[in-house]
Amino acid sequence: MRSHNTSEILFKRASRVIPGGTYGHIAPASGLPRHFAHFCSTGHGAFFHDVDGNEWIDFMCAYGAVLHGYQNPRIEAAVEKQRKLGSIFNHPNEVVVELAEKLTQVVDFASWSVFAKNGSDLTTWAIRVAREQTKRPLVVKALGAYHGVDAWCDPGLGGRIDSDRSDVVEFEWNNLNQLEDIFKQKKNDIAAVILTPYHHAAFAPSEMPTEDFWSQVRGLCTENGSLLILDDVRAGWRLHAGGSHRFFNFTPDISVFSKALGNGYAISACVGIEAVKSAASEVFLTGSCWNDAVAMQAALSSLTMCVEGNVPQSVMTKGQFFSERLEQLAKGFNYSLKMTGPPSMPYPWFEGDENLFLIQKFCQLASKQGLYFHPHHNWFISDAHDQESLKKSLELAGRAFEELDS
């Protein structure tokens, strides 16, 4: 029996001094309270340990931030070297130039890049760049899409006033008629359309774009002089080594990355076309520790490895292997499980499980086996998942299905 005593005690202590104890997407209610630990202690490769010393085979990869596995030796060596030299100074370290050069080489349409710490920092900044460029107010986004913690897009209601959303218009993912209507009605007011490469909402199966989705969206933006912003924060470097637009064969004007970029070191990047470089230089951008040379070295190594080894293809193949077998396993127990979305970041969905009872139960039983399967969020495959850990996970998942069936 896996104990969670230390974790529970720590959570009680946290609740006294931290609103909610743990908050946001790692708040207990968003996952599996009493089954997932509240706190972790260490991680290696595809595994992590919680504060009670339980080992987990991980399928969340720090919610996507870890692409090459926890504590990847090559990245840690680059980080260690920079740490000895220092991290933050009065002026940026030269690594910022190297990283910007690298991103403009790797991302085909990019002619410039800026850096911050979180995805939200730069999705919000990108919107302001679009407003500066177009001198228009409106932003169009997909219903239920997450773009960060800022008031124009966060999923919570707390602290929000009506005007926070007055310049945001939403349409249903893949509903091109709705998007066309918005463009007809608001034609000269739309600064930008911001979208993720495919629709990866929480608590719902992932939806891929229809055949002509991206060409139509691109066309509407170009015809109407609006910018197309790709929020590649979550999917970036798990679909294509040149950015997720390459996977779906279209070209945005701006892309925002974070998560996998630093392999666990806090960094985000926004890249864009030459035509918006001047507007980008007009929108104020800074932060206390944003010129963090350590995180930038991590990103440079992570990105270099990503391109050299075509890691997105590798995690896609591993994810495909795992997802197909997990679906077959479920079928053997008469459950119709679909691993939706791209195999490198699949979202599990039991057909007919509208109240989410089955997925919750399955993930609870899997947690007893040491599998970190999230019931309500897409999972993430890292390049540290090898055949051994994936096969072991399938064997343990089989035990969870057996118990689900009993």
- Identify which range of 78-86, 145-153, 164-172, 221-229 contacts ligand PMP by CB under 6 A: 145-153
Q: What is the DSSP string of 91-152?
A: S--THHHHHHHHHHHHSTT-SEEEEESSHHHHHHHHHHHHHHHH---EEEEETT----SSTT
| Residue 233 within binding range of ligand PMP, rule CB under 6 A | yes
| 238 lines the binding site for ligand PMP (CB under 6 A) | no
Cβ proximity to ligand PMP: between 127 and 220 the closer is 127
Tokens describing residue 308: 């050299």
Total chain residues near ligand PMP (CB under 6 A):
13
Nearest distance from residue 25's CB to ligand PMP, in Å?
7
Q: Is there binding between residue 120 and ligand PMP (CB under 6 A)?
A: yes
Q: How far is the CB of 268 from ligand PMP (least distance, A)?
A: 6
**Which candidate, 129, 127, 53, places its Cα nearest to that of 283?**
129
C-alpha closest to that of 65 among 312, 234, 230, 306: 234
Verify binding: residue 124, ligand PMP, rule CB under 6 A: no
258 near ligand PMP, rule: CB under 6 A: yes
Residue closest to ligand PMP when measured from CB atoms:
119
Q: Classify residue 290 by burial, with Cβ atoms within 10 Å: 0-12, 13-18, 19+.
A: buried
Under rule CB under 6 A, which residues in 358-397 are in contact with ligand PMP? Answer: none
141 φψ region: left (φ > 0), alpha (ψ -120 to 50), beta (else)? beta
> Which structure tokens are listed for 249?
């064969």
Using the rule CB under 6 A, which residue among 50, 58, 231, 353 binds ligand PMP? 231
Q: Which of 54, 123, 255, 367 binds ligand PMP (CB under 6 A)?
A: 123
Task: Report CA-CA distances (Å) from 322 to 151, 290, 318.
Answer: 37, 37, 6
The nearest distance, CB 231 to ligand PMP, in angstroms, is 5
Q: Could you tell me where the DSSP H helices lie in 135-267?
A: 176-186, 213-224, 244-248
Residue 146 found at the interface with ligand PMP (CB under 6 A): yes
> Taking CB under 6 A as the rule, does residue 255 contact ligand PMP?
no
| Nearer to ligand PMP among residue 232 and residue 383 (C-beta) | 232
Tokens of 212: 């002509």
Q: Which stretch binds ligand PMP (CB under 6 A): 105-113, 147-155, 209-217, 285-293?
A: 147-155
Asked if residue 229 lies in contact with residue 130, where contact means CB atoms within 8 angstroms, the answer is yes
Between CA 72 and CA 66 the distance in angstroms is 9
Are 116 and 287 in contact by the 8 Å Cβ rule? The answer is: yes
Among 131, 136, 147, 240, binds ligand PMP (CB under 6 A): 147
- What does residue 287 show for φ and ψ, rounded to 5 degrees? -170, 155
Closer of 93 and 258 to ligand PMP (Cβ): 258
Tell me, residue by residue from 282 to 311, as one string, x for binding to ligand PMP by CB under 6 A and - for no binding. Answer: ------------------------------
Pick the stretch among 113-121, 177-185, 326-334, 396-404 that binds ligand PMP (CB under 6 A): 113-121
Chain residues binding ligand PMP by CB under 6 A are: 118-120, 123, 146-149, 196, 231, 233-234, 258
